Structure formats: structure tokens, C-alpha cells
Amino acid sequence: MNVSHTLTVTKNEDQGAGYFHLVAQAPELARAARPGQFIHVHCAPSVDPLLRRPFSFYRLRPEAGEVEIYYQVVGKGTHLLSRIRSGTKLDALGPLGQGFPLDRKAQRILILGRGMGTAPLIALAEAARTQGTEVSAILSARNSATLVGDRLLASWGVEVITVTDESGTSAPEKVEPLVAAALDRPGTAQAFVCGSRRLARLLKRLAAARGIPAFVSLEERMGCGLGGCLVCACRVRTPEGETYKRVCKDGPVFPLEEVVLG
Amino acid sequence: MNVSHTLTVTKNEDQGAGYFHLVAQAPELARAARPGQFIHVHCAPSVDPLLRRPFSFYRLRPEAGEVEIYYQVVGKGTHLLSRIRSGTKLDALGPLGQGFPLDRKAQRILILGRGMGTAPLIALAEAARTQGTEVSAILSARNSATLVGDRLLASWGVEVITVTDESGTSAPEKVEPLVAAALDRPGTAQAFVCGSRRLARLLKRLAAARGIPAFVSLEERMGCGLGGCLVCACRVRTPEGETYKRVCKDGPVFPLEEVVLG
Amino acid sequence: MKPDLGVEICGLKLKNPVMPSSGSFGLPGYEEYMDLNGLGALVVKSITLHPRAGNPPPRIAETTAGMLNAVGIQNPGVKWFIKNDLQRLRRFTPPLIVSIAGTTVEEFAQATELLEKEEGIAAYEINVSCPNIEAGGRAFGMSAAATQAVVAAVKERTRRPIFTKLTPNVTDIVEIAQAAVEAGSDGLTLINTLLGMAIDVKLRRPVLANVFGGLSGPAIKPVALRCVYQVAQAVKVPIIGTGGISSATDVLEFLLAGASAVQVGTANIVDPYIMPKIIADLEKYLEENNAASVREYIGALKTH
Amino acid sequence: MKPDLGVEICGLKLKNPVMPSSGSFGLPGYEEYMDLNGLGALVVKSITLHPRAGNPPPRIAETTAGMLNAVGIQNPGVKWFIKNDLQRLRRFTPPLIVSIAGTTVEEFAQATELLEKEEGIAAYEINVSCPNIEAGGRAFGMSAAATQAVVAAVKERTRRPIFTKLTPNVTDIVEIAQAAVEAGSDGLTLINTLLGMAIDVKLRRPVLANVFGGLSGPAIKPVALRCVYQVAQAVKVPIIGTGGISSATDVLEFLLAGASAVQVGTANIVDPYIMPKIIADLEKYLEENNAASVREYIGALKTH
Ligand SMILES: Cc1cc2nc3c(=O)[nH]c(=O)nc-3n(C[C@H](O)[C@H](O)[C@H](O)COP(=O)(O)OP(=O)(O)OC[C@H]3O[C@@H](n4cnc5c(N)ncnc54)[C@H](O)[C@@H]3O)c2cc1C
Ligand SMILES: Cc1cc2nc3c(=O)[nH]c(=O)nc-3n(C[C@H](O)[C@H](O)[C@H](O)COP(=O)(O)OP(=O)(O)OC[C@H]3O[C@@H](n4cnc5c(N)ncnc54)[C@H](O)[C@@H]3O)c2cc1C
Ligand SMILES: Cc1cc2nc3c(=O)[nH]c(=O)nc-3n(C[C@H](O)[C@H](O)[C@H](O)COP(=O)(O)O)c2cc1C
Ligand SMILES: Cc1cc2nc3c(=O)[nH]c(=O)nc-3n(C[C@H](O)[C@H](O)[C@H](O)COP(=O)(O)O)c2cc1C
Ligand code: FES
Ligand code: FES
């Protein structure tokens, strides 16, 4: 499969707080991609920055031939990306990696996201709602301006609980009862977390105690994005002991029980 | 003196045959610059290409606050330059180097240019005409499409002789009598050459024989453009023997008798 | 007529001089994304006798026009390689070059013995950039004697051609190259990465968990070209050039400097489809410049 | 309160840690373009006992995010320097560092003797990257013994501090650094350029008339940082870091790695006004990050 695509940017909008929402035409990619997978983007046709940048799908709209990402400006690559105008062509590889293993028959799932880590969970929630699965969402952020996708989720009938550092509601001990309650809700078949090691550890413990399959989407610095260069290592526990897996190819989504959260 | 300027491009036009004509607003620079001097341009705000590119002034229009360059696309830098649109800001150092030592009282001068090397001679001819000096021009090029400034010169009342490879008129033995005749013209006080080592050698010999001061504008790969890095060496003969001078600072214009033409 | 892109190195017939460099291209793996049979050769990630987990992350740092990696030769070990990867790689037509690494001479020797019994391997590349744990951890390739010892140990155990892959982190690469050739290396690959480091000012920490990493990419091309040229002047064996190659003109620069074939590393990481593009551009360039064969460029640099 | 940018190295008080590197900045000359008194120190192009014409052109080749130079230490010789340049340079307030080069130990010694008689020199930088013509043309800095001989010869003849400027083109830069310090070097400057080469495919020729040149610029920063860090772990003398610096964060990276001051080279060639910008940015960065002094960064890299 040729994973090289030329995306035509149709929208690249400042969302405030250094966040941007990019929409691009890429019909084949939109058809092939699944929530939790990502694209690997060359932010500028140059040697500086040299490497691609990975971004999860925020929304997939195969009917419109569009993919969407939601990103935060943190450094050189995302800065250049933020300056791209509608009509610009973007060179991207995708869809890459293993997506979220959403259970077709799940009655309800829990999504737990912090900051920009919420982005891939939005695509997941949309797929869940489309197949009729209920979604509980707990979204954490520094402040309300850096919450991602809360209104979109609400518009899909997702019950959204938001917690923020600003309001003092995001400390682990305050989030724990919320997560526990969500997991305990009848019908909750799977749980997914992204954007915070702390939240991931919390979910790992609470989900394991309840026997609910839980998954995390990890981030690591990447080279190729295709499993070829082995730089995107994450520590996992296997029957043979601890070892490294590739975030780009074996992940970015992993069963929480497998991952060694540092 | 601060030699750093921000040029605002007002025109950057394809002239055919890979040649471009760039006009930019830069009032201070336009005031300070003299024919034969050059600007050192950062063709793109990037590390690739890393170095600046030198371009002679093609025209200086202090009254309009504008400078003009005429350039040929040969590699990465000039390619990027050719894609710049009106309104773009360009980072340039200038005016750099020693210009042509035009004699205020010269009755007539001869300019001898080949290809893009004609560019600085246009600025010189304009200054000469402005001070009432007559100008004889012999312009050489591969073909008529790559002649530079012939029509502009003619519009200033300059007698222009053009020779081209295409028409078989540009061989040294054919150009020699033309140059000799021009030098022999009464009142010819100085001669200037740029763009061809062969023509420079020819002029050196013919001008020396007649005791007419002759000057060449040299090209060499540059680093700083300010005389600080010593990479732009050209071989010259001094009373103490042969040595290197800096094209960027001691030149680009040199007395022909001083230069060792390889 | 189409120009001839074929080259021969140590008896290996390559249909073009372009192959991936060890560790930069998933083999096996990338057959999922493209046709591997268009490449000049296939080179696998370095294999060691025992499995190696590699270094903790972060393992990569971007630098200006380059990158640092500190993978730490993560690999499943030679037995696993033979049982799994080799089966899959044999199916492809380009010659297969297996890169061997180790931390003792004995490890190189044993890995070679195991590989030697297997079909479908065209040649070995000896990666001497690993720390030599019997000699204070300095890479084998930083000492002529240690390089010689490794090469001799492998050479004794194989009838296949061996390419020793040199590190540029030495005072005199020619000396190491000559030592490798004397010890029986049939060809040489150069260069491996330059030792480098990146620092995160905000965190006041090295970017790489391993502190140091290997610098690769366009940034190092001038050093690689220099090494290839210096070594080509001094030895007679074929050279595979690598270091910062990302275009057809880059390939020709290495051939002019004296390489007979080239490897593409970091450029694959940026664009996995770059090698087919380079090969197509190479053909086009030769055609436009009336060169009947790419071999016309090998060692053809004029210096007077 | 404004952060304190001052640093002290071997008794030299610099009002900020930023100075030009030898050969990249016209001294004297650039006073025509800017105020030199804002710089941390002034470093002149290497001076040799006898005048040197330098190499034939082309002397420069652009590479990706870097450049090669082969100037060949063109300079008017120490006597001319003293009579002309030194007079002009004495007028400026930053400490003046005179770089000395040579092709024999004796040349270094004699140049030092002549300079030592003059006022207005704060320190010497010993450029050991020149070919040592008494030992086959390999640079002094590529051998610990040759480095030691040069440093000792200079040390004997001066009461001023000396900084030995090391070449990265060695197997073990720590060994050379230690040799220099043992021989009496009060500080170290690192790194000089990496040996490289560029080829023009159309002409089938090296770009540089000298074939080889020294690679500098952003491309080499990871190598320079690594060298500074390695040496800083091993010696106690102050280090001046150089190699690819073009921003205030670059400066802080070198300080974190263990440098006490830095030199800017290629970035001056790209933009002669970059040092004042870097100094201003440095102040701003420290202010924004609540650092009272730039000295807080020196050697402050956390690696655990
Ligand atoms: C699978 C995956 C999905 C992601 N999805 C999103 C998303 O949907 N929205 C979003 O805003 N961000 C996402 N990220 C993070 C995003 O890739 C980084 O923010 C981005 O690479 C930063 O690039 P930069 O040049 O702006 O920053 P710089 O700090 O200048 O980058 C320097 C280097 O570090 C790498 N890097 C820096 N931060 C990260 C990071 N957090 N993860 C991985 N590499 C990093 C860069 O890729 C680059 O190689 C994702 C990361 C991964 C691995
Ligand atoms: C004083 C002076 C005045 C000039 N005036 C003009 C002019 O008015 N119009 C014009 O078209 N050109 C002029 N040139 C030549 C122009 O500078 C080069 O064509 C240009 O630098 C090529 O850059 P590039 O990136 O397109 O080519 P590349 O070949 O990619 O450049 C690679 C490197 O070589 C250098 N280089 C390549 N060709 C030349 C050259 N002929 N002279 C000096 N350096 C070169 C580049 O600057 C760069 O560092 C002048 C050169 C000098 C020295
Ligand atoms: C991520 C990565 C992993 C590498 N792994 C190996 C390896 O296992 N064995 C080896 O000999 N070289 C390895 N290298 C070095 C490359 O094969 C190559 O020699 C080097 O990167 C220079 O080429 P380049 O500039 O084209 O990347 C690796 C390089 C990178 C970037
Ligand atoms: C054009 C040029 C000339 C140089 N001349 C000298 C010199 O005379 N003496 C010296 O010690 N270093 C010289 N260098 C090396 C620089 O001082 C510096 O060590 C090197 O370029 C690395 O720094 P950079 O990457 O910031 O340029 C020169 C570098 C350049 C680019
Ligand atoms: S980024 Fe290359 S293996 Fe994951
Ligand atoms: S380009 Fe630097 S001295 Fe001329």
C-alpha cells in the first residue's frame, strides 16, 4: 500500500491558546484511516525542520473526502504548519499505526483525555456514536481555553465532564472518583486514555480492578513513522519480560496493561 | 555605517531566458549606493541556502527610493529569489565593495559586457550619461535573448554594438577590432569590462597599449561580503609580488592592470 | 538508449547503485509499502549474536539538516533473524546484505558462523561502530587493531564478501580502512554516523536518554564525501558511500569521489519513497548528460 | 532587575559570553559597520610568524546548513599585524584574544615572543589545526604530543592566559584536551572545523581549489556540543564553545554542556549583526526565565 498522500488544506484555523484546527482534502486517506491512527506530516518542504511530525486524526470524514487534525503550536514544525494557508499542498504519510480497537458491540465506552491528547479520542467518540455506542468523556486541561472537543462531544450526545487545573478539579485524587464512577456505569465495555501519564496510570489501576479492557494512545519522538527506524521506543511488558515496542507501528494505541508507564 | 537593509520588492519579473529583473524599495540604500557596488542578499529566511548571494546594482534610482538588480537563475539561491512576489521583504547587506571609478570629466567611456556581466555596466552607463559623459557599449552574449540592457542603453543615447555566439560575431578575433576602434575614438578616457575573462584579457591588452585606464568587475564565491572572512580571493599583482585581494571589499572593481587573469 | 545503471561490487550484481543503509529502512517490513525489487540491494539493520533491547527513549533528536539517533542496535538476535526475517527477505531479488554488529570479537565470529549456514545472503556488512566492551567501550572502528581483529574473525568464517563499515569518528580513516582491507575486507562502507549531542535548554537536559547519539543526514554529507575520497585514494577495494544522500546528484558526487554504490539512510526516514525517486532521477540525469553508464562516474573526479 | 551576562574566563572579564570566532569576523575592519564594544571579547584571524598568501580560489563551498572554507590561514604575518592591526584593535574595550597559528613549533614560539612584547593583548588562542610540516603535514591538533609541544612552547614565552583551540577531527578529543591542559593551556576553545569536501557534479571537480575544506555552521553544532560536553567532564579549565552557534538558545546549550563563553563563526558570515542580536536575546531569555546570571547555566546540564 502506498502511504504517501498529498493533502490539500481547506482550512487551518487558529482556535486560540495556540491551538489550530486543520482540515484537508485527501479522499483515499480519509477512506483508509481509522480513529487512533495518525499521519506523519512534512511541515515544510525544507531540511529545517528535517523530520516529519505525527498528528492523530481528530476527525475522519470519508464522505467529504476530508481528514482533520487538531494541533498545538509547540515548536518549529507546528509553527510552520500553523502558517499554512488554504489551498496549500501538504506531504503526509498515512494512515499509520494501530487505531483504537473499538468493540462493535460495546454499549458504552469511557474516554479520558488531557489537553491536546483528547484529539484522537474525538475521532474515536465519533465512530462510537456512529455505531450507536454511548460515550462517557472526562476531559482534563490546564484551563477551559485548552479543553479540546468538549462542545463537539456534547453535540453528539456524549456526557462530558471537564476538569481543569485552573479550577482545581484536575488533581488525580479528584479525578479518581469520576473515573471510577464512569467505569462502574453499567454497560461500560472499554476505556481509552490519551495525553497524560498520570491519567493513564490512574485508568490502568481502576480498569484492571474492574476487568475492563483499557487502552492508551502514546506519544514518542518519531523518525520514519513506518516501523523501520526503531527510534520511537516505548517500554512494554511481554511474557518474556520487559522490552521495547514501536509507538508508530505497534501503537500508538496499546493495551494499558501491556505498557510500562514510567 | 549600518549596511543591513530590508528591501521591499516592488517588481520581480521574468525577462525570458532565465533572466529576472527585480526592483525594490530601499531609500537609504539607493542613496548610498554607487555603480559597481553590490548587495548581498539572503534569498530565503532559511539555512538552506545558508549563505547570501551577491548581485550588482543594475540601476540606482535614489529619487524613487529604489534599487534594481538583474539576475539569472543558475542555482538554488537565484531560483528561490525568482519566486519572490511583490511586497516581500528581502534581507540584504549593502552597498558593498568599491564601485567603478568613473572620471567626472571623462568625455567618453567604453563599456564591454558579456551576458549577465553587463548588469553593473548599465548602472555605470546611466551615471555616465547623467554627468554628460558619452558611452560606447559593446555587448556580447550567447544569443540575442541573453543580451542585457541593450535597449535601455540605446534609449539613453548610447551607441551599442552587440555580438553573439549565435551569429558568429562574438569570437575574440572579431571583437578585437571593435574594441580597438572604440578605444581609439577621440575622448575615450576609461574602459570597463565585466562578465568574461576573455574579454577582460582582450581589453587589458588593448587599453594598456593605448594608456587608457581600464577596470574590471570580478566575480568570486563569497561568504561575508564585508571583507571579514577572506574567502573571495582574487589574484593581483602588487609591487611586492603576486598576492590575493578580496573581491567583496577591495573590489569587485579592480584596475585591469592589477588583476591576474587566470 | 536508456543509460545503464548497473554496477558490480565484489561480485554482487546490482541493477542500480542505490540501496538503503543499515537501520534506516524496515527490512523486512517495507514490502508492505512498496516494491523492494527496484532497489540495488537490501541491507538489514545490524544484527548481533544475542538479542538487544536497545536504549531507552527518547532515541532521536532533530538537528539542523540532520538528526541524532541512539537506538542502541535494538535487534532480535541472529537466531530470531534467521528464523523469521531471513525467510521473508529471501523472496526479494536484490542481493541481501546482512549487517553484523557485536561487542566482542567472539560475538562477531559466532554470528557469522550462524549466518554462514543460511542461504540467500549475498554479503555481510561489518558494523564496527559498536562499543568494544573488551577494550574500554570505545568502538572497534576507532582502532585499527580492533577493526582488524573483527574483520579477520569474520573473514575466517565466511566465503561471502564482506564490507567493513567505518566510523568517521577517527583521526585517520585511511589507516582504519587499510587495516580492514589487510584483514580481508573485500569492500568498505563509509560512513557511519558522527558522534553528537543535543540539549534541551528548557529542561536543561540532553534530548537523548543516552546523552550521545549518531549524527546523520544532509548535514554530514561533506564529511562523508571527504572520507570516501580519502579512502578511495588509498585502497583498491570497492566502496559503498553513505552519509546525507538524498538526491541523484548526491549519488553522483559519491561515485565521483570513488564509491561504486551508495546507501541512503536518513533520507529514507524522511521519505520512505525517496530511493525509487533517486533511481529514476539518476537515470534521467545520465540520459540528459549523455552518459551511457553510471559507471563512468565512479572515481572520475578531476582534481587537476 | 536585568540579568547579569558577565562571565570570567582565565581572569578575562567579559561583559557577556559572546565573541566572534577566529577568521569569521573582520578585526580590524568591522568597526566600520557596528560598535564592537558590545561584544564579550574580540578574537582575531589566526596570525602566523610569516605572512601567508592562503589558498587559491574558490575557497568556499556552501553545503546543507553549513559551509566549507579553505582560506589557508591567509594573513599578513605577525610583524605586520603588530604594526597595523594591533594599533587599531587596542582602541576597543572588550578583551583582545590573538589567535596564533604555525606550521612548526618554532613558528608558534617566535610569534608568541613578538606578541608578548606588545600591550593590549588579553590572551592567546593557539590554533593547532594547521598542518604540522615537521610531522608529515597532519595537523598538530591531531596528535596529543604535537599539541603538547606547541602549547608548552607558547606557555614558556608568555604570562598571558592561553586557550588551545582543538580540532574535532580526532578519535579522542578528551585525550588531546588533557594533553593541552597538562602542557599549560589555561583554557580550551572547541571546536575548529570538521574536515569535509564538496563536489560539483557538472564539472566533475571538487568545488574548492584545495579539494578539502573545513566544515562549519549549524550542521556541525551537534558535534561541537558533544565535544564541549566530553571535554568539560574531563578537564577543569574554562572552555570557550564554538560550532554552529546562531541564536541565544544555542549559546545556552553550549553553556549547559560546560562552556563558559562562546564564539560565533559562520553565523557572522551570514549576518554580521547576529552577535548583538544574540546578546540581546540572551538577556531577554534569562529575564523571562528568571535567571539572575548567565553563569547559572554553565555546566548545569542534568543527566540523571
Ligand atoms: C502518535 C502521535 C500523535 C500525535 N497527535 C497529535 C495531535 O493530534 N495534536 C498535536 O498537537 N500533537 C500531536 N502529537 C504531538 C506532535 O507530534 C508534536 O507536538 C510535534 O511533533 C511537535 O513538533 P514541533 O516541531 O512543533 O516541536 P519541536 O519541539 O520543535 O520538535 C522537535 C522534535 O521533537 C518531536 N516532538 C516534540 N514534541 C513531541 C511529542 N509530544 N510527541 C512526539 N514527538 C514530539 C518533533 O516531532 C520533532 O522531531 C502527536 C504525537 C504522536 C507521537
Ligand atoms: C560582485 C558580484 C556581482 C554579481 N552580480 C550579479 C548580477 O548582477 N546578476 C547575476 O545574475 N549574477 C550576479 N552575480 C553572480 C551571482 O552572485 C550568482 O549567480 C549567484 O550567487 C548564484 O547563486 P545560486 O544559489 O543561484 O547558484 P548556486 O550555484 O547554487 O550557488 C552555490 C554557491 O556558489 C556561489 N556562486 C555561484 N555562482 C557564482 C558566481 N557567478 N559568482 C559568485 N558566486 C557564485 C553562490 O553564491 C553560492 O554560494 C554576481 C556575483 C558577484 C560576486
Ligand atoms: C535510526 C538509525 C539507525 C541506524 N542503525 C544502524 C545500524 O543498525 N547499523 C549501522 O551500521 N548503521 C546504522 N545507522 C547508520 C546509517 O546506516 C548510516 O550509516 C548513517 O545514518 C549515515 O547515512 P545517512 O546520513 O544517509 O543517514 C543508523 C542510522 C539511523 C539514522
Ligand atoms: C571562513 C572561515 C575562516 C576561519 N579561519 C579560522 C582561523 O583563521 N583560525 C581558527 O582558529 N579558526 C578559523 N575558522 C574556524 C572558526 O573559527 C570556527 O572554529 C568554526 O568555523 C566553527 O564555528 P562556526 O560553526 O560557528 O563557524 C574559520 C572559519 C571560517 C568559516
Ligand atoms: S518512527 Fe521509525 S520505527 Fe517508529
Ligand atoms: S566574502 Fe568575506 S572577505 Fe570577501
Residues of B in contact with D27 (CB under 8 A): 228
Rounded Cα distance, D233 and D256, in Å: 12
Q: What is the pLDDT of residue C130?
A: 80
Of all protein residues, whose CA lies closest to atom 7 belonging to ligand 4? D23
pLDDT at D134 over 80: no
Q: Which residue of B has its CA nearest to A46?
A: B48
Q: Among residues C97, C130, C215, C267, which one is catalytic? A: C130
* Residue A90, pLDDT above cutoff 90: yes
Which ligand 1 atom sits closest to the C-alpha of A71? Answer: 11
Residue D304 predicted with pLDDT over 80: no
Please say if the pLDDT value at position B168 is more than 80.
yes
Sign of CA pseudo-dihedral A74, A152, A136, A173: positive
Q: CA A92 to CA C42: how far, in whole Å?
A: 25
Q: What residue type is assigned to position C60 of the chain?
A: I
Q: Is C55 in the pocket of ligand 3 (CB under 6 A)?
A: no
Residue range(s) in chain B whose domain bears CATH number 2.40.30.10: 3-96
Q: How confident is the model at residue A240 (pLDDT cuts 50, 70, 90)?
A: confident
pLDDT of residue B45: 87
DSSP string of A126-184? HHHHHTT-EEEEEEEESSGGG--SHHHHHHTT-EEEEEETTTT--SHHHHHHHHHHHHH
Residue whose C-alpha is closest to residue C18's, from C265, C219, C233:
C265
pLDDT computed for residue C197 by the predictor: 97
Q: Exactly one of D5, D42, D130, D274 is catalytic; which is it?
A: D130
C193: CA distance to ligand 3 center in Å? 6
Distance of residue C304 Cα from the nearest chain B Cα, in angstroms: 15
CB contacts, 8 Å: A47 with chain D? 64-65
* B 224-243 near D (Cβ less than 8 A): 224, 226-235, 242-243
User: Contact, B69 vs B39, CB < 8 A?
Assistant: yes
Q: Between A and D, how many residue pairs show a Cβ–Cβ distance under 8 A?
A: 3
pLDDT-derived band at D130 (thresholds 50, 70, 90) equals confident
pLDDT tens column, D190-205? 999 999 999 999 999 9
What pLDDT, on the 0 to 100 scale, is given for residue B240?
83
Q: How far apart are CA B140 and CA B171, in angstroms?
A: 10
Residue A28 DSSP one-character state: H
| CB distance D189 to ligand 4 below 6 Å | no
Q: What's the gap in Å between the CA of D294 and the closest CA on chain B? A: 27
Give B110's strand partners. B136, B191
On chain D, the residues whose CB falls within 8 A of the CB of B221 are: 57-61
Answer yes or no: is the C-beta of B220 below 6 A from any ligand 2 atom.
yes
Q: How high is the pLDDT of residue C22?
A: 98
Report the residue among C78, C99, C193, C215 best suited for mutation to probe ligand 3: largest number of ligand atoms under 8 A from its CB.
C193
Does residue D137 register a pLDDT over 80?
Answer: no
Of all residues in chain D, what percent carry a pLDDT higher than 70?
Answer: 100
Listed range (A45-49, B22-26, D151-155) with the worst mean pLDDT: A45-49
Topology adopted by domain B108-258? Rossmann fold (3.40.50)
Query: B41-55, C125-139, D167-181 — which is least confidently predicted?
Result: C125-139
Looking at the DSSP assignment, which residues form a beta bridge with residue A21?
A13, A70
User: Which ligand approaches the C-alpha of residue C164 most closely?
Assistant: 3
pLDDT of residue C135: 74
Chain D residues 16-75 with CB within 8 Å of chain B: 23-27, 29-30, 32-34, 45, 53-67, 69, 71, 74
CB D132 within 8 A of CB D171: no
CA of D78 from ligand 4 middle (Å) equals: 19
* Tens digit of each residue's pLDDT (9 = 90 or more) over A41-74: 999 988 999 999 999 999 999 999 999 999 999 9
**Cβ-defined contact of A228 to C65 (cutoff 8 Å):** no
Q: Is residue C10 among the annotated active site residues?
A: no
Q: What is the pLDDT of residue C140?
A: 94
CA–CA dist C59, A232 (Å, integer)? 7
Q: Which residues of B touch D217 (CB under 8 A)?
A: 47, 50
Min Cα separation C269/chain A (Å): 4
- Residue A37's pLDDT band (cuts 50, 70, 90): very high
pLDDT score of C137? 74
Q: DSSP letters of B40-104? A: EEESSSSSSS-S-EEEE-SEEEGGGTEEEEEEE--SHHHHHHHTPPTT-EEEEEEEESB-----T
- The mean per-residue pLDDT over the stretch D252-261 comes to 98
Contact criterion met (CB < 8 Å) for A228 and C266: no
Measured CA to CA in angstroms, residue C267 lies from A137, C7, C36, C163, C284 at distances of 41, 22, 16, 22, 20
pLDDT at position B239 is 86
φ/ψ of D236, rounded to 5, equals -105, -10
Do B230 and D272 count as a contact with CB atoms less than 8 A apart?
A: no
Give the whole-angstrom CA distance, residue C194 versus residue C183.
24
Residue pair C108/C124 in contact by the 8 Å Cβ criterion: no
Q: Which residues of A touch D65 (CB under 8 A)?
A: 47-48
| Burial zone of A20 (CB within 10 Å; 0-12 exposed, 13-18 middle, 19+ buried) | buried
Core vs surface per residue A82-111: b (16+ CB within 10 A) or e = bebeeeeebbbbbbbbbbbebeeebebbbb
Interface A:B, Cβ pairs < 8 A: 7
* Pairwise CA distance, residues A186 & C136, whole Å: 61
Give the distance (Å) from ligand 1 centre to CA of residue C251: 32
Looking at beta carbons, which residues of chain D come within 8 Å of C147? Answer: none
A19 within ligand 1 shell (Cβ under 6 A): no
Strand order in the sheet with A4-16: A53-56, A38-42, A89-96, A4-16, A19-25, A66-72, A59-61
Residue C167 Cα distances to C99, C126, C128, C144, D242, angstroms: 14, 11, 7, 11, 23
- Asked whether A248 lines ligand 5 (CB < 6 A), one says yes
Class level of CATH domain B3-96: mainly beta
Inform me whether the C-beta atom of residue B42 falls under 8 Å from chain D C-beta atoms.
Answer: yes
What pLDDT is stored for residue B54 in this prediction?
98
DSSP A76: H
Judge whether D77 and D46 are in contact, CB under 8 Å.
Answer: no
Taking the CA of residue B230 as reference, the ligand 4 atom at the shortest distance is: 1
Q: What is the DSSP string of C161-226?
A: -EEEEE-S-SS-HHHHHHHHHHTT-SEEEE--PEEEE-EETTTTEESSTTSEEEEESGGGHHHHHH
ipTM: 0.97
Bridge partners (DSSP) of residue B39 are B55
pLDDT grade for D131, boundaries at 50, 70 and 90: confident
Q: Would you place residue D132 in the very low, low, confident or very high pLDDT band (cuts 50, 70, 90)? A: confident
Relative to the CA of B19, which ligand 2 atom is closest? 11
Distance between D79 CA and the closest CA of chain B, angstroms? 16
Q: Count interface pairs C-D at CB distance under 8 A.
A: 135
Task: Tell me the pLDDT of chain C averaged across its residues.
Answer: 96
At which residue does the C-alpha cell 481509552 appear? Answer: A192
Interface test with B, best of A43, A46, A85 (most B CBs within 10 A): A46
**For residue B74, pLDDT beyond 90:** yes
In the complex, which subunits touch D with 3 or more CB pairs below 8 angstroms?
A, B, C
Q: Which residue has the cell 565585466?
A: B194
Atom of ligand 1 nearest to the CA of A77: 25
Domain with CATH 3.40.50.80 in chain A: 108-258
Q: What are phi and psi of A108, to 5 degrees?
A: -150, 145
Q: Is B74 on the interface with D (CB under 8 A)?
A: no
Closest chain B CA to residue C64: B47
Closest residue, chain C, to B48 (C-alpha): C65
Rounded Cα gap, residues B195 and C145, in angstroms: 55
Q: Is the CB of A55 under 6 A from ligand 1?
A: yes
- Could you give the 3-state DSSP secondary structure of residue D231? helix
pTM over 0.95: yes
Establish whether residue D264 lines the binding site of ligand 4, counting it when its CB lies within 6 angstroms of any ligand atom: yes
List of domains in chain D: 7-55+72-196+215-297 (3.20.20.70)
Quick check: B230 and D71 CB within 8 A?
yes
Q: CA of C261, closest CA in chain D: separation in Å?
A: 16
